[in-house]
A = this chain, B = another copy of it.
Amino acid sequence: MVNSHMTFAPPDALKPRKLPRQGRSKVTTDAIFEATIQVLMAHGARGMKTTLIAERAGVSVGTVYQYFPHKEALLYAVTQRYLEELAQAVERCAEIHRGEPIEMVSDALVSAYVNAKSARSDVSLALYRASGDMDTDSLVSSVFARLLAATIELFSSAPDADFDNIEEVAFTVFSAVAGGTRVVFENNPTPQMLQQFRLRMCSMCRAYLRQTIRPELGTVGA
């Protein structure tokens, strides 16, 4: 295994056609990739024509189809890279805060998620908008599962928390965070709104967790 993270396997139909290792073709795929994001953000999922992408990338349509089997695969690739970054940001956060008290851990998780989305908020919005358009389902669910697992692991590492049903609790918290963030993005938020939302969400998750933990039987020394 080369990577520390198993990358989710794309359905065959959505895989890029060539993974170019040599010379100019690497430049070409990068250009196509970048052009896809640009066109997506400028024209939306519906206005994302292959000819526009080719034009913006400075190649012909035919070239696009040498590297990607169809339009969906372009969106898929962009989404994949984007979600991978998101997942890694959250997982990094989980590693760092492992073993801290539950309320700190909760804040860290919420902040990591909201901040990762906010950092590339234009792309976030464009992808949220496009998400119905394609078979991103598998991608989204696998990242969801991965981040849910990280959340469970993180919560159970907290020394001051013990849950009756940690899977469900983590699911509820993470759904509220991920879904709430999506809703916020759909309302064209200013950076301030995002920050306010992040703080409120921290507070909400903390309140829920505080109330939900089965209090430990005193400290270790007792």
Contact = CB atoms under 8 A, between A and B. Distances in A.
Contact of A201 (B172, B181, B197, B200): B172
Contacts of A169: 200
A180 B177 CA distance: 7
A208 interface: yes
A133 interface: yes
Given A200-B172, A208-B204, A183 B144 contact: yes
A131 B128 CA distance: 10
Contacts of A201: 172, 176
Contact of A45 (B132, B176, B187): B132
A42 interface: no
A132 B44 CA distance: 9
Given A46-B133, A132-B132, A204-B208, A183 B179 contact: yes
A122 to B, nearest CB: 16
A176 B175 CA distance: 8
7 contacts: A132-B132, A144-B183, A172-B197, A176-B179, A179-B179, A204-B205, A204-B207
Interface of A: 45-46, 128-134, 137, 140-141, 144, 168-169, 171-173, 175-184, 186-187, 196-197, 200-201, 203-205, 207-208, 210-212
